[in-house]
Amino acid sequence: MRTTVGIVGAGPAGLLLARLLRLAGIDCVVLECRDRAHVERRQRAGVLEQGTADVLRAAGAGERLDREGLRHDGIELRFGRRRHRIDFPGLTGGRSVTVYAQTEVCKDLIALALADGCPPLFHSEVLAVEDVDTPAPRVRFRRGGREEVLECDWVAGCDGFHGVTRGAVPAGVSRVHGRTYPYAWLGILADVPPSHDELVYARHDRGFALLSMRSPSVSRLYLQVPEGTKPEAWTDGEIWAELSRRLETDDDWALRRGPVTQKSVTPMRSYVHEPMRYGRLLLAGDAAHIVPPTGAKGLNLAVGDVVVLARALEHELRTGSTELLDAYSATCLRRVWQAERFCHDMTALLHRAPGATAFDDRLQLARLERVATSRAAATDLAEAYTGFPLG
Ligand SMILES: Cc1cc2nc3c(=O)[nH]c(=O)nc-3n(C[C@H](O)[C@H](O)[C@H](O)COP(=O)(O)OP(=O)(O)OC[C@H]3O[C@@H](n4cnc5c(N)ncnc54)[C@H](O)[C@@H]3O)c2cc1C
């Protein structure tokens, strides 16, 4: 099998890259190890920056997003039982975010791929990418029990943090930066209307809590738990009781409870692999970088990467110049590091580290107080949350 761009992974990065390339008239093949239902049901991100929503619209994936996505003009910070709203449009000159689940983004992009007659090859597990430092890279994969080879001009590694493509960069070239955090997020999906119409980020002496949503009838909620916690360790009743405690306010706000339909634990990690290009291999999305979910940036970074990548590949194929591909890694990493900084700062601002002292607690509260009372500090948060410029 042969194509121009071999794309490994049908998460948001791989699916959107394929769509952008098809719109530019560039051949590509997407290889995905899981089945379609798995990709469409994997509960993950839910907050789209304005730039991300605009890219999806321009790619023709905006129809349901505009109908069902929820525009959010702010978030609430909760600490010391008080509520402080961060007004995005007022602080950023009109920017906002859209709550629309990653599952729905993937469904929309897969539907477009089917309509284009180029669906991802599901059940195709990539075993290795080879010869990426030559003009003829190859992707070896297994489908239906048989090994096959995809020959291509470029390979896009969009296979997430646990994928295989990053491993094709020689150890002497890779530079890895990162840290894991000593806590995780226990997340639930519940069939109950959200208890607030915007996301609520709560700092509490017992740990962080987040109230989020997927639709007007489905809530998504998270609790900070110790690293290594198993989801079964918490009953639904215990989760609701703890959420109520951490989100409690001095006014008459109350948490609505409902049936829990999913429960999972997400580890917290910051990670950057440099460079994002080696030879004819280009890494994008979680394959190259991970942020802790506090800043809601992972999916948005993946979208930013593939916009830059699609533009660079189109430029090379039209003009023969690799100028934009040569700049790909540096262009993406500028935005990636801003997101890393923001997500790390939001995490430190809101989570209670094991062994935190009274001094640490007071500093954290002073930082939150600063965001709540200083327009400059709130603007900094609002600008980062609504998104850094693409490429
Ligand atoms: C609980 C949680 C909450 C999150 N919340 C947010 C949020 O609010 N906002 C936000 O922006 N981000 C959020 N994120 C992050 C976001 O979900 C990821 O950044 C995003 O999925 C990255 O997309 P991707 O396409 O790069 O990688 P992935 O979505 O991981 O896709 C990679 C794909 O590659 C496939 N693959 C892997 N290995 C192989 C192989 N060997 N062969 C073939 N295929 C392979 C995988 O099956 C997968 O389909 C959250 C993440 C989690 C876990």
Q: How is 223-271 classified by DSSP, letter by letter?
A: EEEETT--GGGS-HHHHHHHHHHHH--SSS-------EEEEEEEEEEEE
In the reported structure, the alpha carbon of residue 161 is separated from the centroid of ligand 1 by a whole-number distance in angstroms of 8
Same domain? For 62 and 129 the reply is yes
CATH of the domain at 30: 3.50.50.60
Contacts of 88 (CB under 8 A, 6+ apart): 72, 73, 74, 75, 95, 96, 97, 382, 385, 386
* 11-to-19, 44, 53, 253, 388 alpha-carbon distances in Å: 12, 11, 16, 37, 22
Residue 88 forms part of a structural domain: no
Active site residues: 72, 201, 293, 297, 385
* Residue 138 domain boundaries: 5-73+98-178+269-346
Average pLDDT (170-182) is: 96
Indicate if ligand 1 lies below 6 Å from the C-beta of 292.
Answer: no
Average pLDDT (215-230) is: 95
Position in ligand 1 atom list of the atom nearest CA 286 = 26
Indicate if ligand 1 lies below 6 Å from the C-beta of 158.
Answer: yes
Average pLDDT (92-107) is: 96
Same domain? For 336 and 286 the reply is yes
Same domain? For 13 and 39 the reply is yes
Same domain? For 168 and 285 the reply is yes
Looking at the chain, how many residues does it have?
A: 391
Residue 89 forms part of a structural domain: no
* pLDDT tens for each residue of 76-90: 999 999 999 999 999
Residue 391: per-residue pLDDT: 62
Same domain? For 210 and 130 the reply is no
Q: Are 10 and 157 in contact (CB under 8 A)?
A: no
Structure-derived torsion over alpha carbons of residues 301, 91, 44, 310, reported in degrees to the nearest 10: -30
Same domain? For 149 and 275 the reply is yes
Position in ligand 1 atom list of the atom nearest CA 49 = 11
Instruction: Please give the Cα distance from 224 to 185 (Å, whole number).
Output: 5
DSSP character for 93?
Answer: T
Residue 81 forms part of a structural domain: no
Residue located nearest, by CA, to atom 2 of ligand 1: 44
Instruction: Please give the Cα distance from 353 to 251 (Å, whole number).
Output: 28
Same domain? For 118 and 168 the reply is yes
Residue 31: per-residue pLDDT: 98
Indicate if ligand 1 lies below 6 Å from the C-beta of 187.
Answer: yes
* pLDDT tens for each residue of 34-77: 999 999 998 888 899 999 999 999 999 999 999 999 999 999 99
Cis peptide before 275 (omega within 30 of 0): yes
Residue 138 forms part of a structural domain: yes
Residue 380 forms part of a structural domain: yes
* pLDDT tens for each residue of 231-263: 999 999 999 999 999 999 999 999 999 999 999
Residue 83 forms part of a structural domain: no
Structure tokens at 264: 């999972």
Same domain? For 240 and 334 the reply is no
Indicate if ligand 1 lies below 6 Å from the C-beta of 293.
Answer: yes
* 133-to-30, 136, 172, 290, 311 alpha-carbon distances in Å: 21, 8, 14, 25, 21
Residue 154 forms part of a structural domain: yes
Same domain? For 235 and 147 the reply is no
Indicate if ligand 1 lies below 6 Å from the C-beta of 213.
Answer: no
Indicate if ligand 1 lies below 6 Å from the C-beta of 299.
Answer: yes
Indicate if ligand 1 lies below 6 Å from the C-beta of 44.
Answer: yes
SS3 category, 132 = coil
DSSP character for 390?
Answer: P
In the reported structure, the alpha carbon of residue 67 is separated from the centroid of ligand 1 by a whole-number distance in angstroms of 24
Paired with 270 in beta bridges are 179
In the reported structure, the alpha carbon of residue 90 is separated from the centroid of ligand 1 by a whole-number distance in angstroms of 32
In the reported structure, the alpha carbon of residue 158 is separated from the centroid of ligand 1 by a whole-number distance in angstroms of 9
Q: How many domains does the chain have?
A: 2
CATH of the domain at 186: 3.30.9.10
Same domain? For 263 and 303 the reply is no
In the reported structure, the alpha carbon of residue 287 is separated from the centroid of ligand 1 by a whole-number distance in angstroms of 9
Residue 260: per-residue pLDDT: 97
Same domain? For 24 and 119 the reply is yes
pTM: 0.95
Same domain? For 103 and 172 the reply is yes
Residue 391 forms part of a structural domain: no
